[in-house]
Structure 1
Amino acid sequence: MTAGDTEPRQTAAEIQAEIDREQRRLAETLDELGVQARPANIARRQVAKVKERGTRILDEARALVVGGGAVRVESHLVHPEEGSIVLRGDDKVVTTYQSRGRLPPEALILAAGVGTVVVVGVVAWAVRRKRK
């Protein structure tokens, strides 16, 4: 054994500094996890997911009612070029459509649910009207 083999690779101060860095990193990670795990933040993320899925399902349902094989993906307003004379209604809406494949199960469930609600409503209205 040589003298170099018995000496520590790091000094106590270096080890303590590394421990302190790791503790700070762990504390930051725990803080981030705490923010993500807050019920309000979880609810906000879930509401955003539901809105996104609901919009897609609504577009699918609208396409079913209106017909056609395409679903609206995006619409945006296009303004006339700067310096041109703008008459009423010169703005144009550009809409992007995407070819519709098979309907997702959510759209079928939504259609069945809406149909059931309509049927129950009509029956309840008819029964109530008959009693009067």
Structure 2
Amino acid sequence: MTGRDTGPRQTPADIEAEINREQRRLAETLDQLSVQARPANIARRQVERARERGARIVDEARALVVGGGAVRVESRPVEPEEGSIVVKGDNEVVTTYQSRGQLPPEAVILAVTVGAVVAAGVVAWAVRRRR
């Protein structure tokens, strides 16, 4: 026996079976990619991202106004166990909060300025409407 003949030899049937397995795996991967690349699915993912960002901004604004001590950093759905059936709306969500420290003076000045501008706009609108 020479050094090249140390491993077991594959039969043509073994090689064909391996090729078939790889073709099935490749076909499944292509199917998954085609589902992910559908415009409707891309749009859905973008809307979900925008909602998450919007929810975070709303939470931060609420914490700023109310004076809460924590701000939501991240929320993400938990993937279900393999083989389980998930009904729409049954996703579990994990949310991470971070303690909010002292606000920088720039943020306070900005918030007060925006509030004053909005209040002045509402007053001007109400006065104009009465005339």
TM-score by length of 1: 0.51
Deviation for aligned residue 1:125:
5.0
Q: Which has the larger radius of gyration?
A: 1
- Cross-structure match for 2:52: 52
Q: Aligned letter for 2:49?
A: K
Letter in 2 for 1:20: N
Shift of 1:19: 0.5
By how many angstroms is 1:72 displaced?
A: 7.1
Q: Which runs of 5+ in 1 are unaligned?
A: 74-96
| Residues 1-132 of structure 1: pairs in structure 2 closer than 5 A | 5=5, 9-71=9-71, 99-101=99-101, 118=118, 125=125, 129=128
Q: Which has the higher contact order (CA 8 A, sep 6+)?
A: 1
User: What's 2:89 paired with?
Assistant: none
Q: CA deviation at 1:66?
A: 2.2
When residues 101 and 50 of structure 1 are mapped into structure 2, their CA distance, relative to the original with a 3 A threshold, is farther
What letter matches 2:58 in structure 1?
L
CA contact (8 A) 2:56 2:72 kept: no
Which segments of structure 1 move beyond 6 Å, counting only runs of 4 or more? Answer: none
Give the 3-state SS of the residue equivalent to 1:33 in structure 2. helix
- CA distance in 2 between counterparts of 1:68 and 1:16 reads 64
User: How far off its partner does 1:99 sit?
Assistant: 2.5
Deviation at 1:11, TM superposition (A): 1.4
Report % sequence identity: 82
Q: Secondary structure at the match of 1:16?
A: helix
Cα distance change of structure 1 residues 19 and 62 upon mapping to structure 2, 3 Å threshold: same
Deviation at residue 58 of structure 1 after TM alignment? 0.2
- In 2, Cα distance between the equivalents of 1:101 and 1:64? 11
Indicate if the aligned counterparts of 2:72 and 2:98 stay in contact, CA closer than 8 A: yes
Counterpart residue type for residue 18 of structure 2: E
Aligned residue pairs, count? 95
What is the TM-score normalised by the length of structure 2?
Answer: 0.51
Which blocks of at least 5 consecutive residues in structure 2 are unaligned? Answer: 74-96
| CA pair 71-13 structure 1, distance change in 2 beyond 3 A | closer
Task: Give the drift of 1:51.
Answer: 1.2
Given that 2:36 and 2:42 are in contact with CA atoms closer than 8 Å, whether structure 1 keeps it comes out as: yes
